[in-house]
Chain A
């Protein structure tokens, strides 16, 4: 009982404080070959997440070879020098582990969630494909995953209602030579063109310890884990200098009106602008703007279009944050009997209202409260996409340090109405945006058209 009383005293203290300090404590070190390693202890449940980021994404690709970073991600699961094809998954599953990987414009990440006794296996597998992938690579494997990725494209883009919308949106938002112009999945032609030799080159250039960061988080002993990392990754040679992709300053200085016909029942409107990069000034303001416009029943656009007028089935907005340039996107589906021009007119009215007067203090505080609660949720999950291990890697990659959880939270705590308005006026310009209408086949009259806009 003594223990219990003491415990209650301790744990009610922070609740009394106005603001809680939230941290993800960690240890960081670098191997001589340049591999950055970050360790975080959390013994809530007896599992560990091994999470590695290679600092290469579709933004490193060239036109004609789009989709390659992602195709390569698939090949990382097909076996390596000491891991026969199929065994990567089989061995992990036998140990009670899960794994996955993903590719975006900036990076490629991989994780293994394992029971805490299986950390050596996860590190063996992860290091083997970093050190010895090419020993087991064959043209047949490239062909096999090419088919799988083409089916991924069919399933997630082509056979998906509105599935091509974001491809068209980014093509129009960014100029053809800017690396965010093309989708991470790539084009069918480029996937067909990808060769075994491309795989070899890509691996040697980007899949090297000095272009990666490794987080091990969960039920670990940091000292023993550090030894394991040295054992499995220490002998992998450092690679060369990684070429830096060309991201010139980018802006859109016109209004582009695009119409896409699709096998859909209802027309859907997409508006997009170029906004500040991940974690830079303005990025959090656009997250806040998103909440003010479409976060909940009382948000401005949701309330008008979905709740009051009931001419939209849904509306959402988000700041899609990327390393070199982000985008702010509004997506709304019109109900039957309504055109996208009607929807666009209301959106325009609400954006104009915000240009004239900043959001209220109350709206901003409501958004901050939701962001803060979201940070608490992030502390609960260690593994997978978006868990603490992934988060530490994300902070390291995008800001240069894993020590960013509290700073990240403070970006939101410091939000204020005037700054949100200032950013919104600066970046959400009428003459610097893409308006994409996806309409049912043959129903282009439902789209936002140039003529109507010109009036």
Chain B
């Protein structure tokens, strides 16, 4: 059965109000057995429409999935270049280039372009990830043609006006300044830096340093664009209420003339795994909570341990019923929430466990963190294993609810060269993970003696008790050590 039935949309559009008020007669005294939770039937299967693949005349690949429930179309232009393609000494350039692409394109300046998009009720957004960048269009079907012209202009004819660069420069310098207020941001930045070093794209911030932000020129933006925006380095993802013939013709008209070029591969510097345990304590005087962020280098997206790592992390800190949240929130009341995650990237991304805890219990909370990181290396019960697997596998269909969510999933296929039956096999792959694999994965990747512990909090209040824990050496930081001096734009 194809669950992406089209009649739903027709119902929505054509049926007049289907509106019934029923009064139900049942005897109020009816008893039901509540002693056991109800037995459930077999879970439904996910049946997706086929993934359709095409190429434009210039070789640009198009990956397409039909979805007809609502008259919407999502088109993502994905370029396989991102923050890792920032040139040496120019960290932040990918992010700025993408940010500038909708600040003037084709014959329209920044204001005219924004007005045209807004008037259609469409959304076009641009962003740079680590290994890829994306320009996405989300539009009502009846505005598709006009919106596609704007998307084409932004992708193929960005103008990078000097005045807009000056404006975004100010905006970014101010953002740097505002980070001084945000303990979570400070913890994230220092965690990445501690793990990868500032010269690795995974260890630096997306927008780069103050010095870099001040230095970027229109020339830099154009260079980044010309080097990386190539059809043979890109793909187009389409999801929505269109048919293949129609959308192919439209895309050919828009992007068929895009000229190919030479793609320069990037290799990331090798990183060393954390070898011992240390604490990096950032002083935030008067903070009501301490942010705790415990990190080490995790694993790449294309690992054979992918499914086992997902299941293991779900048990440790990936859901509400996970051990970290149950322990720190429900059992102890130290926090509003605690959890952990692997960031799966092309190269090994970080594993991070984190929480914001009441200042007075920072040491106790940290102790519980260390206990859980240790315990997950021991065998898990069958009940816990099944719960975690079901939680991931049976929720999986919900990643395919909206056109933009489906487009995200399709991007992964391209980015990590996953097979076409990847979606259909996903649930089975999760359910096949064994307890032994979970334990092996934990043993390999969760090593509590080899982690960087970043804490952002009130040093005067928390330092003595942290010292008593003897978890390792403590390095002290000020917020300025992490972010630089808060700047004054008028200098």
Taking beta carbons and an 8 Å cutoff, which residues of A are in contact with B?
7-8, 10-11, 14-15, 20-33, 42-47, 81-83, 86-87, 89-91, 93-99, 113, 115-118, 120-121, 124-125, 128, 132, 143-148, 150-152, 154-156, 158-159, 161, 219, 226, 230-232, 234-235, 237, 263-266, 295-298, 303, 307, 310, 313, 333, 335-337, 365-366, 369-374, 376-377, 379-383, 403, 406
Is the beta-carbon distance between B393 and A89 smaller than 8 angstroms?
no
Which one of B114-122, B210-218, B371-379, B432-440 contacts A? B114-122
- By Cβ-Cβ distance, the 6 closest A-B pairs, closest first, are A96-B394, A147-B333, A373-B121, A46-B44, A161-B181, A29-B22
Taking beta carbons and an 8 Å cutoff, which residues of B are in contact with A?
3-6, 8-32, 34-35, 37-38, 40-46, 68-72, 110-111, 114-115, 118-122, 138-143, 167, 170-171, 174-175, 177-178, 180-183, 241, 243, 286-289, 319-321, 326, 329-330, 332-336, 356-358, 386-388, 390-391, 393-395, 397-398, 400-403, 486-490
Is the beta-carbon distance between A155 and B118 smaller than 8 angstroms?
no
Is the beta-carbon distance between B114 and A235 smaller than 8 angstroms?
no
Q: How many residue pairs, one in A and one in B, have C-beta atoms under 8 Å apart?
A: 299
Is the beta-carbon distance between B289 and A11 smaller than 8 angstroms?
no
Is the beta-carbon distance between A370 and B121 smaller than 8 angstroms?
yes
Is the beta-carbon distance between A297 and B4 smaller than 8 angstroms?
no
Is the beta-carbon distance between B69 and A121 smaller than 8 angstroms?
no
Is the beta-carbon distance between B333 and A161 smaller than 8 angstroms?
no
Q: Across the interface, name the chain B residue whose C-beta is closest to A120.
A: B38
**How far is B335's CA from A146's CA once the two chains are assembled, in angstroms?**
11
**How far is B2's CA from A28's CA once the two chains are assembled, in angstroms?**
28
CB distance from B70 to the nearest CB of A (A): 5
CB distance from A371 to the nearest CB of B (A): 8
Given contacts A30-B23, A46-B46, A93-B319, contact A154 B288 (CB under 8 A): yes
Is the beta-carbon distance between B489 and A336 smaller than 8 angstroms?
yes
Given contacts A14-B13, A376-B70, contact A265 B329 (CB under 8 A): no
**How far is B140's CA from A371's CA once the two chains are assembled, in angstroms?**
12
Is the beta-carbon distance between B24 and A372 smaller than 8 angstroms?
no
Given contacts A96-B390, A235-B28, A310-B167, contact A297 B114 (CB under 8 A): yes
Q: Note all chain B residues with C-beta closer than 8 A to A150.
A: 358
Is the beta-carbon distance between B42 and A26 smaller than 8 angstroms?
no
Is the beta-carbon distance between A155 and B336 smaller than 8 angstroms?
yes
**How far is B72's CA from A158's CA once the two chains are assembled, in angstroms?**
41
**How far is B393's CA from A47's CA once the two chains are assembled, in angstroms?**
13
Is the beta-carbon distance between A32 and B288 smaller than 8 angstroms?
no
Q: Note all chain A residues with C-beta closer than 8 A to B321.
A: 86, 89-90, 93
CB distance from A50 to the nearest CB of B (A): 13
Q: Note all chain A residues with C-beta closer than 8 A to B387.
A: 90, 93-94
Is the beta-carbon distance between B122 and A373 smaller than 8 angstroms?
yes
Is the beta-carbon distance between B181 and A44 smaller than 8 angstroms?
no
Partner of A231, one of B5, B16, B30, B330: B30
Is the beta-carbon distance between A124 and B37 smaller than 8 angstroms?
yes
Is the beta-carbon distance between A235 and B43 smaller than 8 angstroms?
no
Q: 19 pairs across A/B with beta carbons < 8 Å?
A: A8-B243, A11-B6, A22-B13, A24-B12, A44-B69, A47-B397, A47-B398, A47-B401, A89-B319, A95-B40, A98-B395, A118-B40, A159-B287, A161-B178, A226-B24, A237-B28, A336-B487, A369-B121, A379-B69
**How far is B274's CA from A220's CA once the two chains are assembled, in angstroms?**
50
CB distance from B368 to the nearest CB of A (A): 14
Is the beta-carbon distance between B114 and A298 smaller than 8 angstroms?
yes
Is the beta-carbon distance between A121 and B38 smaller than 8 angstroms?
yes
Is the beta-carbon distance between B44 and A95 smaller than 8 angstroms?
no
Is the beta-carbon distance between B3 and A43 smaller than 8 angstroms?
yes
Is the beta-carbon distance between B171 and A313 smaller than 8 angstroms?
yes
Q: Note all chain B residues with C-beta closer than 8 A to A219.
A: 3, 44
**How far is B219's CA from A307's CA once the two chains are assembled, in angstroms?**
23
Partner of B15, one of A25, A91, A147, A335: A25
Is the beta-carbon distance between A372 and B111 smaller than 8 angstroms?
no
Q: Note all chain A residues with C-beta closer than 8 A to B395.
A: 96-98, 113, 115
Partner of B18, one of A22, A25, A47: A25
Q: Across the interface, name the chain A residue whose C-beta is closest to B121.
A: A373
Partner of A117, one of B43, B70, B393: B43
Q: Note all chain A residues with C-beta closer than 8 A to B174.
A: 266, 313, 335-336
Partner of B72, one of A21, A28, A377: A377
Q: Note all chain B residues with C-beta closer than 8 A to A32.
A: 24-26, 28
CB distance from B173 to the nearest CB of A (A): 9
CB distance from B286 to the nearest CB of A (A): 7
CB distance from A156 to the nearest CB of B (A): 8
Q: Note all chain A residues with C-beta closer than 8 A to B336.
A: 148, 151-152, 154-156
Q: Note all chain A residues with C-beta closer than 8 A to B320.
A: 89, 93, 99
Is the beta-carbon distance between B118 and A234 smaller than 8 angstroms?
no
Q: Across the interface, name the chain A residue whose C-beta is closest to B488.
A: A336
**How far is B457's CA from A406's CA once the two chains are assembled, in angstroms?**
50
**How far is B334's CA from A437's CA once the two chains are assembled, in angstroms?**
32
Is the beta-carbon distance between A263 and B286 smaller than 8 angstroms?
yes
Given contacts A15-B142, A235-B30, contact A22 B12 (CB under 8 A): yes
**How far is B215's CA from A441's CA once the two chains are assembled, in angstroms?**
32
Q: Across the interface, name the chain A residue whose C-beta is closest to B166.
A: A310
CB distance from A243 to the nearest CB of B (A): 24
Given contacts A11-B68, A29-B23, A93-B320, contact A372 B121 (CB under 8 A): yes
**How far is B43's CA from A121's CA once the two chains are assembled, in angstroms?**
13
**How far is B320's CA from A90's CA once the two chains are assembled, in angstroms?**
9
Q: Note all chain B residues with C-beta closer than 8 A to A403.
A: 17, 19
Given contacts A90-B387, A96-B390, contact A376 B489 (CB under 8 A): no
Is the beta-carbon distance between A155 and B356 smaller than 8 angstroms?
yes
Partner of B183, one of A20, A159, A373: A159
**How far is B41's CA from A96's CA once the two chains are assembled, in angstroms?**
13
CB distance from A101 to the nearest CB of B (A): 12
**How far is B124's CA from A297's CA once the two chains are assembled, in angstroms?**
13
Q: Across the interface, name the chain A residue whose C-beta is closest to B32.
A: A231
**How far is B330's CA from A384's CA once the two chains are assembled, in angstroms?**
23
Q: Note all chain A residues with C-beta closer than 8 A to B45.
A: 46
Q: Note all chain A residues with C-beta closer than 8 A to B390.
A: 93-96
